[in-house]
A and B are shown apart, each in its own frame.
Chain A
Amino acid sequence: GENVEQHPSTLSVQEGDSAVIKCTYSDSASNYFPWYKQELGKRPQLIIDIRSNVGEKKDQRIAVTLNKTAKHFSLHITETQPEDSAVYFCAVLPRGSQGNLIFGKGTKLSVKP
């Protein structure tokens, strides 16, 4: 089955710096890659997603890049702000899945003012 690995597990940056989180997956047929943000004690919320027919997608300070050949995708946050502090989860939807998103273990991002 699909295996998702996420790195780093923790990331600390200064306010205004960029943050990059990377995920690798094993099944080359997987075709949907969302990122969820979970603030402490809160529900996960979708922040951006990308489909396998697209290499990059941007939404203001957030971007996701997908390298299908290498089977990895990355979340990029520019001009980080303290409110970006949270745990970020990547996820992969294997082709043919009934909705069984496979999540990474998460990255705890801390943005220091």
Chain B
Amino acid sequence: GAGVSQSPRYKVAKRGQDVALRCDPISGHVSLFWYQQALGQGPEFLTYFQNEAQLDKSGLPSDRFFAERPEGSVSTLKIQRTQQEDSAVYLCASSGGTDMTGELFFGEGSRLTVL
């Protein structure tokens, strides 16, 4: 596709449920990022992949959060035993190279609401 695609766009989960959020980056993009955006706030970094390697996961808020990119393209962010504070928009972004000063192309996000 022409841009970064994320699914589902909206997800409502009951507290304690597990969720999985998918990201399809722009084809051929080496770098992939996950950000969390709370209402009225800026995006906050969660994790970074270069191809299939997860090079930085320092932003993952707890061990309930797990991300993978097994074949270096599609990525999945999994949240186990969801809590109300996990409610946010989860943004995926990709970039063509490994130059950290390159443009990030964001998806439209997955809005998670935990009841």
Contact = CB atoms under 8 A, between A and B. Distances in A.
Interface of A: 6, 31-32, 34, 36, 41-46, 49, 51, 89, 91, 93, 97-106
A101 B108 contact: no
Contacts of B4: 43
Question: Main SS of the interface on chain B?
Answer: loop
Contact of B42 (A41, A49, A100, A103): A103
B33 interface: yes
Given A93-B101, A98-B48, A98-B56, A43 B106 contact: yes
Given A46-B104, A99-B31, A100-B58, A89 B45 contact: no
A96 B34 CA distance: 19
Contacts of A34: 103-104
Nearest to A51: B101
Contacts of B91: 43-44
Contacts of A105: 40-42
Interface string B50-91: 000001101100000000000000000000000000000001
B56 A99 contact: yes
B96 interface: no
B45 A106 contact: no
Contacts of B100: 32, 93, 97-99
A106 B48 contact: no
Nearest to A43: B106
Interface in B3-47: 4, 31, 33, 40-45
A38 B69 CA distance: 26
A98 to B, nearest CB: 4
Contacts of B43: 44, 89, 101, 103
27 contacts: A31-B101, A32-B100, A36-B104, A42-B108, A44-B104, A45-B106, A46-B103, A46-B104, A89-B42, A89-B43, A93-B100, A98-B48, A99-B56, A99-B100, A100-B45, A100-B56, A100-B58, A100-B59, A101-B43, A101-B104, A102-B45, A103-B44, A104-B42, A105-B40, A105-B41, A105-B42, A106-B41
